[in-house]
Structure 1
């Protein structure tokens, strides 16, 4: 996208943009933090810290001239984590993880509204035109005409709209790191990372240096980065038959089963140079320039250009009407792009108000013909007692690329067109058009005395052609608004340690929950409590579960013939799952109001994916009488993804019994239904495919009661424990018409200290889960065993092997990191299911 191109001058790139581009320099981030505090604190020291952030991005509907769209706009759920660690006096390490899950409708192309054919006001692809049409009409000035189907008369209609295409949820994951080495007057940073989607991979590395001189009042930053990206996109089965690929050469691969893949490689070399000057104790100024050279495949494999062909031999009829034929071509962008950026930033601390003002301007230019300007202002106002309020305003404007067109008209026959007579490069991607964007936002943060801060922010954007500088941008059809909200938890371990050392007695206190039932495996929760009133604990838990193999009926493997005959409860069975992955991220917040009561809050973030294959011997799909099922079976060729916020846990833990070496804890809690249970497969232009498979919804959709009883004991280097837990669904049905089965689990474990800081554990687990009750209400096309409620739940036996490490000294004392692999021993499933292949649990916790 174009706004990706200007990332170097955009300190907060739009949601969905690759975050590796356009990051603030380390000095920019430092000055932002320093100037939010009283005075100008340009300390080079970095405290060890970690943060977790959740964000949500949502677009509004496009302007379709009063016709309601059939599609939901794009929305994105984002999860980020960041950690900084001091390895030695001069060496520092930072890691960053980001995960985006997005879904909804986005423009595939642009065309006159009249191109929707002889169906005025009909809904098609969101009330927008076909991407292929044999009958489009123009007057002799090539103005689009719309034909009245009743009278046969024509009227001019030059209105342009987006042709929308919906996508099922997809997930992108990125991990990257930085390693810094600091001298007294300089620093060197190396970094690298990987960004992965199902159709796109990007690998990148960077090298940066910093030099301080003039008594550290002047700083020079330089950097160089390299990115190598590959695209392997499966063309949408719904649109592929209507897209011309003749101009795309060998980039399009045709597989034996009739699918089409688009392949491409891209390289990006980027460099920057910036100079920062401290003007006085309260202000500084920074100026920077950057250059990026990109080569290779830079087109979007899901964008097309509409071309209306008008045969030059055609003569207008008595009414002056020319008939054309509409074809869609994959967009063609240049394979070389040179980009230049320049930015200027001024930051001042206003002592009378104890506030900081940030002003910035950025300029972007490339050889695609795009010039862009960014203006922004930010005010950081401490409110006292650790509170800070930061309002922000930002304006962005860009020119259109020189090859951008809403659509093309070619005076040649559609049946015998010559691709060489089309422009060499063309795109109707609205992100290459001329437009402006105005946004305003606010961030509220609270810093607690023990080094923990909470932050919440929101920003609203208006995107419009007439907001462009000069007001000559694209028409109203490109206008839409969007908003972004986020929440973050940040932990500064050095601040926690300093606060503890300043407490009465002058000794840092790190609760040693590792010696109080805290050596349970990573997969066990509610095994320990905070023992001192006023203590806090923060933690993070990750779980990965994998299913694959031959389908089971009870405990017996079955083949395709059995699944076809009985796997779908007497209904036709067309496909079977081959693999399913689940990732769960959980943030754990614990507070001890007393020594016998702990309170816990546990929000979750989920994502899942499933692949399927056709069943051998499956009956043919009745395309004529059951087009919905036919479309769903065809859609099963694509991997299915879901992701976003899961259910939120609220728990109270009670200390029932405690003696040296023994304790008993009861936990009562509920799970609030914050996870979506109405996730749907993407709508095609043929069918609304309705709900996705039951097991890929993000929550239960019901209020759930979750009690547990946990015993732990220890003696010397040994510790052990046992737990009984359950889940009772408190509603008979959720809003989508079903309820997950109740669950009971029992587990026992033993642990041994291998070293003072390292222990190993073995655990046994039994789980019983009931089948799903009820069924989806609404449009739903079951095509395989995973779509029938009776094929969920069962009885499961597992054995787990774990390791747990605790930091015993320094600023990070009390941090605990645990891992456990849970290996299935025996599955006895309800109905027909994919077997489990194992699960990994990882947890981190820190109490203070």
Structure 2
């Protein structure tokens, strides 16, 4: 799965491996956050402020053993991409990066760039690009440059599972998974296993997998006006103003491996893998710059330059690819230092002509007291694909006049292109039957024919990832294992991609050189270690199991949507949890409590001067939160809750809206807006105020740290700047916020109930983008019944007041709809929640608690104009020990 993930991301080493592998027999749950960020590309003459590609990744996994021999594991990954991405390579003289200018107090400055591929290029008679200079005149300029386009944020969700059974000397696993993006979907299934020989000193591993993928890419709207797509005319669908390129792909993979223990201090692992891929192999967002040269227009005078017509064609890759990978790993334990040396080498080659070498060296050094430090170095080199070129030159005209079989130039009536006409040597026009016509009565234009695709190479791509290059990286992984069964990990790795680092010589792609880094932080909970320790403590203290179980149940039975709803009792107790929240808005636009018509929204939803042009059609929000709670005393709990957010919004055009204005941002096509990344981080302390049989009260005092971005921008559309994205699509508040709360819980026999008052007070007048979100007050009350000793059901009622936004954006915002105006935020909301709670009562998984709640709106009284709320889901998992 890691190989499939890396292939999908096309970024080597994005998911950093642990310093030492997890014990396959250990039951554990882990959470990991990864940050990838590229350095700026060299655009030579353009000082662009386009932000490089960044990726925020949240990853969760679990491994569990049932009945000793049955094992189950899962992985979930969500990543959000944003930033400028290369779409093609072009000669520098083509000026493919069109500068975007903006007025400033210091004059006109360059603030960005957008792709502009269709242009004229001067060439000498050896077809070298020429640059006109004031001093030397025409000089050869062989430099190439990446042409960048700003990319909208995009979120990918990937999940997979594996179910296995182990015998004494063999194992069999079956698994599957999926990966979902707005423009790409894939699903796969696999089977793998292991045979052990020689008293388990030798292991033979095998595996096979099948993946089916479907591409439905919305072509870059900034590039479409310049794009030639004739090769894919049958695969492009025009829908709602967007060009959608579709394609299917299949991948078959098989692998075989052998692990041999050489002695008590060393082992070797070898693997061979084969992949057969077929179907749509192209990257739909990469184009090839082709310079068309009309041979009939070339002057015999070598001093007169050739005029080339630069055009953008969608890349064309072979529809079949066969790959073979050979790998080996050697591990040697260094006894005097209690360290381990890991040496890895992999060689892969395919029928595209790419030969790649990877060398990795890790030194795993325990330092004592649970600390381990692993410095690592990695080198990668590959040859270029056979069909890779920075750009192409084709000896033909891009378009030329149509000539019939008799050698006559063909003319057509623009009002009726099916009618053909001809002109004789005297300039008179006549129809196909030879009848003279009056050309002044018709709108005649010469008929043009496009280039001959057969004169181009069968396959071509300028994707710099298919060029020859090398990369060198170095990093370090730091682990800390705690006796309670918790492991923390942090890692950092810095990469340099350079054409000059290629094995055997320069890869001739230095224009694509750049640096990037990958950083991650992870936490792992080893349930086997925890359950073993807790069992020993229980036996040593002769604990009353029934009493502790009942106590734990009453303490944890709060609805899933309630945060800060319970406390840990024992000093030194720890809780690790995961919280997921989903909410959706769709349906009617509301004004107060009533439906608002489109015309009312147009006239009143955006201000006295600005008229609304769009309104949200639907919006979804997903939040992933890690809950970590520690009890230093019986009366005090400390919590940290980092968040990872992602949102998507689709817009619709309002009926009666004003007509489009040239140069003003317009939301065109079917592609919506997506944002995602790190949200705000909550720091909370809980204080026990009352602890009587059947009744508990505790208060919480905490803050929300502004770690979520509030300056995310809409991508540029057809050269028109969109500015900051809508308020609800930003990732945090941007201010330090005070979060007081008080919670009462009670129980009697099988009944349990509770009430919570919760608030958010913004402690700053504005954030860096010029506004502050409204304060929040929420009151909840619930009641529930224990259906069994491990399962309960609850009903909750909630009232929420959210103030409107104060201030406004201090940067440019396109103001296309109600969601861009502060007055259209907040209101009064009444909701009902239906939930279930479940606890694992005993056994090795005792201490695991799950809760789910669906929240249904009952009544909404919104400020201004807002999209109707349709409900939400909350799900939590907690593990206390």
- Fold conserved between structures, TM > 0.5: yes
**C-alpha deviation, 1:492, in angstroms:** 0.6
Distance 1:120 1:820, change over 3 A: closer
Match of 1:590 in 2: 629
Task: State yes or no: 1:610 paired with 2:642.
Answer: no
RMSD, matched Cα: 2.4
Per the alignment, residue 130 of structure 2 pairs with 145
Question: Residues 18 and 158 (structure 1 numbering): CA distance in 2 closer, same or farther, change over 3 Å?
Answer: closer
Larger Rg: 2
Distance 1:128 1:640 in 2: 19
Matches within 5 A, 1:692-771: 692-771=725-804
- 8 Å CA contact 1:16–1:76 kept in 2: the answer is no
- One of 103, 108, 116 as aligned partner of 2:95: 116
Distance in 1 (CA, whole Å) between partners of 2:572 and 2:219 is: 57
SS for the counterpart of 1:313 is: helix
Give runs of aligned pairs for residues 412-451 of structure 1, distance below 5 A: 412-416=396-400, 417-451=451-485
Deviations 1:496-531 (A, max 9, x none): 112223448436979756344321100112221111
**Residues 117 and 587 from structure 1, CA distance in 2 versus in 1: closer, same or farther, beyond 3 angstroms?**
closer
The equivalent position to 2:168 in structure 1, one of 184, 195, 199, is 184
Indicate conservation of the 8 Å contact 1:517/1:714, yes or no: no
Aligned mates of 2:658, 2:677 — CA distance in 1: 35
Paired residues of 1:108 and 1:303 also in contact (CA < 8 A) = yes
- The Cα shift of 1:67 comes to 3.7
Q: CA offset at residue 146 of structure 1?
A: 2.1
Over 3 Å counting, the alpha-carbon distance change for 1:433 and 1:572 in structure 2 is same
The answer to whether the 8 A contact 2:666-2:717 is kept is no
Write out per-residue CA displacement over residues 336-394 of structure 1, whole angstroms, 9 at most, x where no aligned residue: 00000100110111111111111011000100001000011101111101111011111
Distance (whole Å) between structure 1 residues aligned to residue 507 and residue 245 of structure 2: 31
C-alpha displacement of 1:310 = 1.1
> Could you tell me which residue of structure 1 aligns to residue 570 of structure 2?
532
Aligned partners of 1:552 and 1:558 also within 8 Å: yes
Match of 2:63 among 62, 78, 84: 84
CA distance in 1, matches of 2:822, 2:317: 48
- What are the within-5 Å matches in structure 2 for residues 644-723 of structure 1? 644-684=677-717, 686-723=719-756
Partner of 2:381: 397
Matches for 1:123-522 after TM superposition, within 5 Å: 130-133=116-119, 135-148=120-133, 153-255=137-239, 257-316=240-299, 319-416=303-400, 417-503=451-537, 505-506=539-540, 514-522=552-560
Work out the CA distance in 2 between the residues paired with 1:598 and 1:125. Answer: 48
Please state how far the C-alpha of 1:66 moved relative to its aligned partner.
6.0
The Cα shift of 1:239 comes to: 1.2
Q: Report the secondary structure of 1:498's partner residue.
A: helix
SS at 1:551 equivalent: strand
Residue 835 of structure 1 aligns to a residue whose secondary structure is: strand
Q: 1:176 to 1:276 in 2, by over 3 A?
A: same
2:422 paired residue number: none
The answer as to 2:47 corresponding to 1:68 is: yes
Distance in 2 of aligned mates of 1:664 and 1:254 = 60
User: What is the TM-score normalised by the length of structure 2?
Assistant: 0.90
Asked if the contact 2:723/2:814 (under 8 Å) is kept, the reply is yes
Q: CA deviation at 1:32?
A: 4.2
CA drift of 1:249 comes to 3.5
Q: Which residue of 2 aligns with 1:33?
A: 21
In structure 2, the partner of 1:559 is 597
CA distance in 2: counterparts of 1:370 and 1:336, whole angstroms: 14
Q: Name the structure 1 match of 2:9.
A: 16
Whole-angstrom distance in 1 between the partners of 2:509 and 2:587: 53
Residue 504 and residue 756 in structure 1: after superposition, are their counterparts in 2 closer, same or farther (change >3 A)?
closer
Are the structure 2 counterparts of residues 268 and 117 from structure 1 closer, same or farther at C-alpha, using a change threshold of 3 Å? closer
Q: What secondary structure does 1:549 align onto?
A: strand
Q: CA deviation at 1:470?
A: 1.3
Structure 1 397/544 Cα, relative in aligned 2: closer, same or farther at 3 Å?
same
Shift, 1:404, TM fit:
0.2
Q: Secondary structure at the match of 2:511?
A: helix
| 2-structure distance, mates of 1:432, 1:532 | 58
1:320 Cα shift? Answer: 2.3
Distance in structure 1 (CA, Å) of the matches to 2:817 and 2:834: 34
Q: Do the aligned residues in 2 keep the contact of 1:15 with 1:76 (CA within 8 Å)?
A: no
Distance 1:384 1:502 in 2: 24
Contact 1:587–1:604 (Cα < 8 Å) also in 2: yes
Q: 1:199 to 1:141 in 2, by over 3 A?
A: same
CA distance change for structure 1 residues 231 and 19 in 2, over 3 Å: closer, same or farther? Answer: farther
Q: Distance in 2 between matches of 1:118 and 1:222?
A: 49
Q: Distance in 1 between matches of 2:296 and 2:542?
A: 89
Residues 195 and 21 of structure 1: is their aligned pair in 2 closer, same or farther, counting only changes over 3 Å? farther
Partner of 1:812: 845
Structure 1 residue 17: Cα displacement: 4.1
CA distance in 1 between counterparts of 2:223 and 2:468 reads 27
Aligned-partner Cα distance in 2 for 1:731–1:61: 33
SS at match of 1:517: helix
Q: How many residues align?
A: 818
Change in 2 beyond 3 A, CA 1:827/1:119: closer
Q: Is 2:46–2:110's contact at 8 Å kept on the other side of the alignment?
A: no
8 A contact 2:253–2:276 mirrored in 1:
yes
- From the superposition, tell whether residues 442 and 494 of structure 1 become closer, same or farther in structure 2 (CA, over 3 Å): same
412-421 vs 397-406, which moves further:
412-421
| Structure-2 separation of matches of 1:88 and 1:551 | 53
Deviation per residue, 1:164-197 (Å, 9 max, x gap)? 0111111000110000011111010000001000
The alignment's TM-score, normalised by the length of structure 1, stands at 0.93
2:639 to 600, 603, 606: 600
Return the offset for 1:113. Answer: 0.7
Match of 1:39 in 2: none
Match of 1:579 in 2: 618
- Determine if contact 1:15/1:57 at 8 Å carries over to the other structure: no
Partner of 1:57: 36
Q: Deviations over 1:567-590 (max 9, x none)?
A: 112311111101100000110111
C-alpha distance in 1 between matches for 2:114 and 2:785: 65
In the TM superposition, what are the counterparts of 1:90-101 in structure 2 within 5 Å?
A: 90-101=69-80
The offset of 1:140, in angstroms, is 1.1
* Aligned CA distance change for structure 1 residues 666 and 21 (closer, same or farther; 3 Å): closer
The 8 Å contact of residues 680 and 731 in structure 2, kept in 1 or not, is answered as yes
Residue 132 of structure 1: CA displacement? 1.1
**Shift in alpha-carbon separation, 1:368–1:374, aligned structure 2, 3 A:** same
Match of residue 40 from structure 1: none
- For residues 760-839 of structure 1, the aligned pairs below 5 Å read 760-839=793-872
Sort the Cα spacing of 1:727 and 1:117 in 2 relative to 1 into closer, same or farther, 3 A.
closer
User: Relative to structure 1, is the Cα distance of residues 267 and 15 closer, same or farther in structure 2, using a 3 angstrom cutoff?
Assistant: closer
Match of 1:38 in 2: none
